[in-house]
Amino acid sequence: MKKIDLHVHSNYSDDADLTPQELIEMAMDRGLAAISITDHNLTDAISEALELVEDNNLEIIPGIEFDTNYGDNILHILGYYIDYNSPKIDELLGGMEEAKKEQFYGRIERLQQLGFNITAQEVLEKADNDRPLGGFIAEVLLAKTESKEDPRLETYYTGEKSDQPYFNFYLDFFRAGQPADIPCWKPSAKDTIKLIKEIGGVAVLAHPGSTLSPEDEDVIDDLIEAGLQGIESYSTYHNEEEVAEWLALAEKKGLLATAGSDFHGHLKPKIELGGVAGNDYNIIEQLRELRRSNK
Express each pLDDT in 107-152 by its tens digit. 999 999 999 999 999 998 887 655 656 678 999 999 999 999 999 9
This prediction has a pTM of 0.89
The answer to whether 223 touches 189, Cβ cutoff 8 Å, is yes
Q: How far is residue 253 from each of residues 50, 125, 153, 209, 246, measured CA to CA in Å?
A: 33, 46, 44, 16, 10
- The vertex-43 CA angle with 37 and 46, nearest 5°, equals 55
CATH number of 3-84+188-294: 3.20.20.140
Q: Find the mean pLDDT for residues 217-225.
A: 98
- Average pLDDT rounded to a whole number, residues 166-187: 93
Q: Which of 10, 57, 61 is nearest to 33 (CA)?
A: 57
Q: Hey, CA dihedral for 187, 20, 201, 251, is it positive or negative? A: negative
What is the DSSP code string of 165-189? HHHHHHHHHHSTTSTT-------BH
128 torsion bin: left (phi>0), alpha (psi -120 to 50), beta (else): left
Residue 32: band (very low, low, confident or very high) from pLDDT cuts 50, 70, 90:
very high
Helix (H, G, I), strand (E, B) or coil at 13: coil
Which range, of 101-110, 129-138, 210-219, 255-264, averages the lowest pLDDT?
Answer: 129-138
Report pLDDT digits (tens) over 87-115: 999 999 999 989 988 999 999 999 999 99
Domain boundaries, the chain: 3-84+188-294, 95-174
Average pLDDT of the chain?
Answer: 94
